[in-house]
């Protein structure tokens, strides 16, 4: 899933344009984004606060077991890199 400060309408349009099939959640006040400590203040259009790129793997209890953070919105892990990380976690 993805979490963004964008409105549901903007996220829906993004998903349609790029063919994303996973869930996008809207967090316009960045409450969840702050909770995960991935707020990138002033990095958005018109200096809007946005979420910095991050990937998390959570266990069934919701505990973060692995994370990858970057300050560069162009840097994203490939799916195979995330799957590789998931395979290193205890079952």
Domains and CATH numbers, the chain: 2-82 (3.40.30.10)
Per-residue pLDDT tens digits of the chain, which is 91 residues long: 899 999 999 999 999 999 999 999 999 999 999 998 899 898 888 998 888 889 999 888 888 999 999 877 788 888 899 999 999 888 7
Q: What is the pLDDT of residue 73?
A: 74
CA–CA distances in Å: residue 71 to residues 28, 60, 64, 89: 20, 28, 19, 25
Token output for 9: 């309408």
**pTM, whole model, 2 decimals?**
0.71
> What is the largest distance, in Å, between two alpha-carbon atoms of the chain?
44
Backbone CA torsion sign across 40, 12, 68, 60: positive
Q: What is the pLDDT of residue 9?
A: 95
Residue pair 57/84 in contact (Cβ under 8 Å)? The answer is: no
């Amino acid at each position: 899933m993805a979490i963004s400060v964008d409105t549901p309408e903007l996220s829906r349009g993004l998903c349609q344009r790029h063919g994303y099939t996973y869930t996008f959640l809207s967090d316009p006040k960045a409450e969840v984004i702050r909770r995960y400590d991935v707020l990138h203040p002033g990095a958005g259009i018109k200096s809007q606060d946005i979420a910095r790129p991050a990937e998390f793997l959570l266990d069934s209890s919701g505990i973060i077991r692995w994370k990858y953070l970057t300050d560069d919105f162009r840097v994203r892990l490939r799916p195979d890199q995330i799957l590789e990380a998931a395979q290193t976690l205890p079952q």
